[in-house]
């Protein structure tokens, strides 16, 4: 089974949610009824996402700010990487043109 990076990240988040919620009983609960445990963790994450969107608590407001900062950092990083790639492509194209006498 090949999972995307997003799926792997979500499963890691679900696992963290299960362990945080159930603590030492997480393994036993998961062995007894894995689908119920996964569904409960998923539901809890969805509830928090909704709480964060609505800004119902200080925790949700703080999480919203952290998420916004993470998105900004990721966007800046991707943009910088893309610009670096384009710059390298331009240098390579110029070097190739120069090597064949067109630069």
**Model confidence over 57-96: pLDDT tens digits?**
888 888 888 888 989 999 999 999 999 999 999 999 999 9
pLDDT band at 33 (very low <50, low <70, confident <90, very high): very high
Q: Which domain holds residue 22?
A: 1-54
Shared domain check, 62 and 103: yes
CA distance 30 to 75: 36
Shared domain check, 64 and 102: yes
Shared domain check, 34 and 69: no
Helix (H, G, I), strand (E, B) or coil at 70: helix
Number of domains composing the chain: 2
**Residue 92 token pair:** 């390579």
Please classify residue 41 by burial: count the beta carbons closer than 10 Å to its beta carbon, then call 0-12 exposed, 13-18 middle and 19+ buried. buried
Shared domain check, 73 and 24: no
Q: Is the pLDDT of residue 103 over 80?
A: no
Shared domain check, 63 and 103: yes
């Amino acid at each position: 089974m090949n999972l995307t990076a997003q799926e792997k990240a979500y499963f890691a988040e679900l696992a963290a949610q299960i362990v945080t919620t159930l603590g030492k009983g997480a393994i036993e609960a998961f062995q007894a009824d894995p689908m119920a445990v996964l569904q409960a963790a998923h539901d809890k994450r969805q509830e928090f996402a909704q709480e964060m969107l609505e800004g119902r608590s200080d925790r949700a407001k703080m999480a919203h700010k952290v998420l916004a900062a993470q998105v900004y950092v990721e966007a800046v990083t991707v943009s910088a990487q893309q610009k670096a790639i384009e710059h390298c492509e331009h240098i390579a194209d110029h070097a190739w043109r120069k090597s064949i006498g067109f630069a």
